[in-house]
C-alpha cells in the first residue's frame, strides 16, 4: 500500500498543473460579503437548525462506521488488522455504488421518500450490528449502511438551500461547517465503547445518530421542506 502514495503525488501534481493552465472565466460577485454573524443568524430558523444537525449526524455516521468497522471485526471475529481493514473497504465500495445509483433514482423518486426509506433501512442494519457476531453478516451490514447512507448528505444540503434560496451562500457555509460531526461522533463512540468495554458502545452512538436522521426525515416531510 505504500506504493500508492507516489501515485497520489503524481496525480495531484498533474491535476494542479492542469488546473493552473486551464482558463476559468469567473463572474463578478455582486452584493455584500457575508459575515460569521450572518451565517449563525440562520440557526434561528428551526428548520435550518434541524438540517444543520442532520449534516452533523450523517457525517458522524459516515466517519463512525469507518472508524469502528475494523475494530468490530477484530473484537467479534478475531480477524487480524489487515483482514479487518476490509470492513471499511466494503463500506466505502457500497457507499460509492449507492451514490452512483442514487443519482439516477433521485431523478425518478421524490427525495423525501428516498430519504425516509433509506434511513429506515440503515437504522435496521445498525440495530442488527449491535449484536451480530457472524463475519459475513457483519460485512453485509456494512454494505447496507454504506449504500443507504450515501445520498443523505446531498438531500439534506439541497433541502437547506431550498429553504432559504436567497441565502444560498450563507446556507452553504453553515452546512459545510456541520462536517465537524466527523470529529464529535467518534469522540463519543470512544467514551461509550470504553465504558461498556465493547464496540457495541460505538455502534450504539452511530445508531443514535441514525435515529436523529430518521426524526429529521419524517419531520421535514411534515414541514413541507
> What string of pLDDT tens digits covers the 225 residues of the chain?
678 888 889 999 999 999 999 888 766 655 555 666 667 778 888 888 899 999 999 999 999 999 999 999 999 999 998 899 999 999 999 999 999 999 899 989 999 999 999 999 999 999 999 999 999 999 999 999 999 999 999 999 999 888 888 888 888 888 888 899 999 999 999 999 999 999 999 999 999 999 999 999 998 755 545
Contacts of residue 123, defined as CB under 8 A and 6 or more positions apart, other chains included, come to 207, 210, 211, 214
Contacts of residue 192, defined as CB under 8 A and 6 or more positions apart, other chains included, come to 201, 202, 204, 205
Query: pTM of the prediction?
Result: 0.82
User: How far is C-alpha 56 from the chain's CA centre?
Assistant: 8
Residue 85 to residue 69: CA distance in whole angstroms: 7
Contact of 143 with 90, CB cutoff 8 Å: yes
Amino acid at each position: 500500500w505504500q506504493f500508492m502514495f507516489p501515485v497520489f503525488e503524481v496525480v495531484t501534481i498533474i491535476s494542479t498543473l492542469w488546473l493552473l493552465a486551464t482558463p476559468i472565466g469567473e463572474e463578478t460577485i455582486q452584493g455584500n460579503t457575508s459575515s460569521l454573524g450572518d451565517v449563525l443568524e440562520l440557526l434561528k430558523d428551526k428548520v435550518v437548525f434541524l438540517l444543520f444537525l442532520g449534516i452533523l449526524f450523517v457525517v458522524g455516521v459516515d466517519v463512525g462506521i469507518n472508524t469502528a468497522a475494523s475494530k468490530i471485526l477484530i473484537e467479534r471475529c478475531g480477524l487480524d488488522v489487515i483482514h479487518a481493514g476490509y470492513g471499511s473497504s466494503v463500506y466505502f465500495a457500497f457507499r460509492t455504488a449507492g451514490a452512483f445509483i442514487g443519482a439516477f433514482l433521485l431523478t425518478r423518486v421524490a427525495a423525501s421518500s428516498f430519504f425516509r426509506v433509506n434511513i429506515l433501512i440503515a437504522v435496521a442494519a445498525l440495530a442488527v450490528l449491535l449484536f451480530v457476531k457472524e463475519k459475513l453478516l457483519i460485512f453485509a451490514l456494512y454494505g447496507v449502511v454504506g449504500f443507504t447512507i450515501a445520498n443523505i448528505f446531498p438531500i439534506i444540503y439541497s433541502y437547506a438551500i431550498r429553504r432559504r434560496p436567497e441565502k444560498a451562500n450563507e446556507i452553504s457555509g453553515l452546512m459545510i461547517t456541520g462536517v465537524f460531526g466527523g470529529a464529535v461522533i467518534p469522540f463519543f463512540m470512544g467514551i461509550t465503547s470504553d465504558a461498556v468495554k465493547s464496540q457495541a458502545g460505538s455502534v450504539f452512538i452511530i445508531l443514535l445518530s441514525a435515529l436523529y436522521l430518521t426524526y429529521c426525515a419524517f419531520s421535514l416531510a411534515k414541514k413541507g421542506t
